């Protein structure tokens, strides 16, 4: 069943009545060809999701009524932010699409010392919009209750200032995998409690430099290995999110 | 350091001396610009890997000597075969590339009842070659000690006959995720022992039909959920392989 993320909180919209407008209106009418009596999910900014039924179709608005709350929790108990040093090509698209399916809360791009690609402010804005749209579509398709945010930093310093806002920080570091580091990922995520925030740093193709990793460590980050195989820049975040889901969604039940 | 999969067993090649020929020769000379004294890894069909040093460059052959065995095991303790009902587009390419990085031993494609794409024998052969090449490159890049095989079935019946060769069979089934099935993946993989074979069945875009799933179950397969979010056809195998690596490479140490 189709899923729409609306830009208001449930508590706001319940007062004025549920509706779809703008792009979602056009999607519901022209793509899904919804009629009165058809149902869809509405997901609100406060993580509430409901099953709703179309009651009326107006010129630029679909009106709906609540049928039931969605009871099953679709979200990971911890909030995971995936931060990628800008990789080449369209790898961030893959990370955002798959990472949204796998439960990430936020995506961040930043210029790593080893990033080959340079993005200026205007291009970054466009890219952020495009990636946000990919996140929205993937969130709808994968039945998320949260639409992940995408933030693209032009200067890494501004991003580094935000590190104090996280409960734990992990750095996926190829050199750690090579020397067989195995304990840190398990230790960190098993220590985390519901609602806590995890930041995961993943390098571009060449990996982070040793200097960058030391700097991250000085800001409270822990280096972790992701098994003995060397993963590409865009595969590491998918491994991490899958491992976190396995730990919290399947093992701890 | 560059890694080459050679088509002989270590025990065979050690007698006649180590060498690179054909495509690997051209890659070593023209792409890597290797010279006498340079080092690379050689990986043999019997899962032995060595660090080797170039001793001489001939017209169509690079001669090498063994420097050291590679001690660290890069392979999962269980052999995982990922079988995909043919999906649309180039999704199999993504599954083979990322699945190789994540440790799969074999990839199988087969026509599922809900597969939209139909492949005939000749096209399938070409596709199998292309996917095998992707697996080889990804195995080199991710430092594998096994080069995964790719087998594309034209008739699913032939594939189903091979089910008895596996110790465990799992079906990733969307409907299981929807009703909150959480226990099967953990139970199955935690029961498995070193060297055992796991077959994982993943549907195309529309998922498997209920009838197909019943048939798989009659052949010994167990249905499993992969967390509460709905994963795309190409994401489910990556989740499974990451979860298996987390369980065996990081948790059980």
pLDDT in tens, A23-38: 999 999 999 999 999 9
**Greater model confidence, B59 or A178:** B59
User: Which of A233, A246, A252 to probe the B interface (max B CBs under 10 A)?
Assistant: A246
DSSP string for residues in A61-129 = -EEEEEEEE--S--S-SSEEEEEEE--STTHHHHHHHHHHHTT-SEEEEE--TT------HHHHHHHHH
The rounded mean pLDDT for chain B is: 94
Contact between B232 and A72 using a beta-carbon 8 Å cutoff: no
Q: From the CA of A144, how many Å to the nearest CA of chain B? A: 7
**Greater model confidence, B175 or B131:** B131
Q: What class has domain A3-69?
A: mainly beta
pLDDT of residue B120: 81
Q: Which two tokens stand for residue A192?
A: 């985390």
Residue B105: band (very low, low, confident or very high) from pLDDT cuts 50, 70, 90: very high
Say whether pLDDT at B239 is over 70: yes
Cβ(B84)–Cβ(B108) under 8 Å? Answer: yes
Helix, strand or coil, per DSSP, at residue B87: coil
pLDDT digits (tens, 9 = 90+) for B195-208: 999 999 999 998 99
CA B176 to chain centre: 25
Contact between B242 and A243 using a beta-carbon 8 Å cutoff: yes
pLDDT of residue A36: 96
pLDDT of residue B93: 97
CB atoms within 10 A of CB A239: 27
Q: Which two tokens stand for residue A59?
A: 């010129």
Residues of B in contact with A242 (CB under 8 A): 238-239, 242-243, 246
Say whether pLDDT at A140 is over 70: yes
Residue A55: band (very low, low, confident or very high) from pLDDT cuts 50, 70, 90: very high
Contact between A226 and B247 using a beta-carbon 8 Å cutoff: no
Contact between A73 and B228 using a beta-carbon 8 Å cutoff: yes
Q: From the CA of B71, how many Å to the nearest CA of chain A? A: 11
- The ranges assigned to domains in chain B are 3-69, 79-251
**Greater model confidence, A180 or B33:** B33
pLDDT of residue B49: 94
Residues of B in contact with A238 (CB under 8 A): 98, 235, 238-239, 242
Share of chain B above pLDDT 70, in %: 100
Query: C-alpha distances in angstroms, A175 versus A87, B91, B243?
Result: 18, 30, 22
Residues of B in contact with A245 (CB under 8 A): 226-227, 229, 239, 243
CA B239 to chain centre: 14
Count Cα neighbours of A172 within 13 Å in the Cβ-side half-sphere.
30
Residues of A in contact with B144 (CB under 8 A): 229
CB atoms within 10 A of CB A215: 15
Task: Report, at the CATH architecture level, how domain A79-251 is classified.
Answer: 3-Layer(aba) Sandwich (3.40)
Q: From the CA of A198, how many Å to the nearest CA of chain B? A: 18
Q: From the CA of A210, how many Å to the nearest CA of chain B? A: 18
Say whether pLDDT at B48 is over 80: yes
Closest partner residue to A101 (CB to CB) among B183, B185, B232 is B232
Residue B74: band (very low, low, confident or very high) from pLDDT cuts 50, 70, 90: very high
Residues of A in contact with B228 (CB under 8 A): 72-74, 143, 249
Residue B253: band (very low, low, confident or very high) from pLDDT cuts 50, 70, 90: low
Dist. CA B210–CA B244, nearest whole Å: 26
Interface A:B, Cβ pairs < 8 A? 123
Burial status of residue A24 (CB atoms within 10 A of its CB: 0-12, 13-18, 19 or more): buried
Helix, strand or coil, per DSSP, at residue A239: helix
Contact between B228 and A98 using a beta-carbon 8 Å cutoff: no
Dist. CA A136–CA A10, nearest whole Å: 18
Nearest chain B residue to A73 by CA distance is B228
Tell me which DSSP letter residue A229 carries. S
Say whether pLDDT at B177 is over 80: no
User: If you average pLDDT over residues A176-186, what whole number do you get?
Assistant: 85
Contact between A245 and B239 using a beta-carbon 8 Å cutoff: yes
CB atoms within 10 A of CB A7: 12
pLDDT of residue B121: 82
Parallel, antiparallel, or unpaired: how do β-strands A3-5 and A39-43 relate? parallel
Least confident of A55-59, B36-40, B112-116, B240-244: B112-116
Residue A253: band (very low, low, confident or very high) from pLDDT cuts 50, 70, 90: low
- Note the ipTM here: 0.92
Closest partner residue to B230 (CB to CB) among A143, A226, A249 is A143
Contact between A239 and B239 using a beta-carbon 8 Å cutoff: no
To the nearest 10°, report the CA torsion of B240, A201, A203, B229: 30
Residues of A in contact with B229 (CB under 8 A): 74, 101-103, 142-144, 245
DSSP string for residues in B25-55 = HHIIIIIS---TT-EEEEE-TTS-EEEEEEE
**Greater model confidence, B253 or B39:** B39
The length of chain B, given as a count of residues: 253
Burial status of residue A101 (CB atoms within 10 A of its CB: 0-12, 13-18, 19 or more): buried
């Amino acid at each position: 069943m189709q899923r729409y993320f609306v830009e208001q909180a449930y508590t706001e919209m319940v007062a004025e009545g549920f509706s779809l407008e703008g792009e979602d209106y056009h999607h519901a009418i022209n793509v899904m060809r919804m009629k009165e009596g058809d149902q869809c999910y509405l997901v609100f900014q406060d993580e509430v999701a409901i099953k709703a039924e179309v009651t009326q179709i107006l010129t630029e608005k679909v009106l709906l009524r609540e049928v039931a709350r969605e009871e099953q929790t679709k979200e990971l108990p911890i909030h995971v932010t995936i931060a990628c040093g800008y990789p080449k090509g369209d790898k961030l698209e893959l990370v955002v699409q798959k990472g949204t399916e796998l439960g990430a809360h936020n995506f961040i791009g930043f210029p790593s010392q080893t990033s080959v690609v340079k993005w200026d402010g205007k291009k970054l804005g466009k890219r952020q919009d495009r990636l946000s749209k990919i996140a929205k579509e993937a969130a709808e398709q994968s039945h998320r209750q949260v639409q992940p945010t995408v933030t693209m930093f032009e200067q890494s310093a501004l991003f580094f200032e935000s590190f104090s806002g996280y409960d734990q920080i992990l750095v996926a570091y190829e050199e750690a995998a090579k020397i067989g580091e195995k304990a840190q990922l398990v230790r960190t995520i098993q220590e985390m409690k519901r609602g806590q925030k995890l930041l995961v740093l993943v390098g571009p193709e060449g990996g982070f430099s040793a200097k960058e990793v030391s700097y991250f460590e000085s800001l409270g980050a822990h280096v972790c290995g992701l098994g003995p195989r060397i993963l590409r820049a865009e595969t590491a975040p998918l491994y991490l999110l899958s491992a976190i889901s396995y730990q919290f969604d399947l093992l701890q039940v």
